[in-house]
Amino acid sequence: MAEIGQQPRGWWTKLMAWLQGARHGDAAQKAKAALQDMRTSDAGRKAEAKLRDLRDSDAGRKAEARLRDLRESEAVGKARDAARGALRDLREGDAGRKAKAAIRDLRDGASSRDKP
């Protein structure tokens, strides 16, 4: 559940960083004001309180423990290893070489067509 609570904070942080990068634009100022209004609104405070209640509840703690157990389980480890192996085989295998060659041919063909 901690991850669920961290996601909105992460999005908020990224959005604020993006807005600060374009800080001088009128649209950025309007968007920043609208987000601040939403965050301080009654609905925003209620949503934040609900998330906090869910995170602190018994059901939230149980769900977090189950997710942690699942992440650390043998089945997930085997699936992760299998996925890594499949990607490695695809990258290093015949299909991977053919795909790279096809992309190279397409890229080279496009660049030769651009030349007069």
**Number of CB atoms found within 10 A of residue 35's CB:** 15
User: HSE on the CB side for 55, CA within 13 Å?
Assistant: 13
DSSP 3-state of 99: helix
Q: What is the pLDDT of residue 51?
A: 86
User: pTM here?
Assistant: 0.36
Tally of domains within the chain: 1
C-beta separation of 64 from 2 below 8 A: yes
Q: Over the stretch 64-76, which tens digit does the pLDDT of each residue have?
A: 899 899 989 999 8
Which residue range is the domain that position 16 belongs to? 2-114
Q: Over the stretch 33-68, which tens digit does the pLDDT of each residue have?
A: 888 888 888 888 888 888 888 888 998 889 889 989
**Number of CB atoms found within 10 A of residue 54's CB:** 14
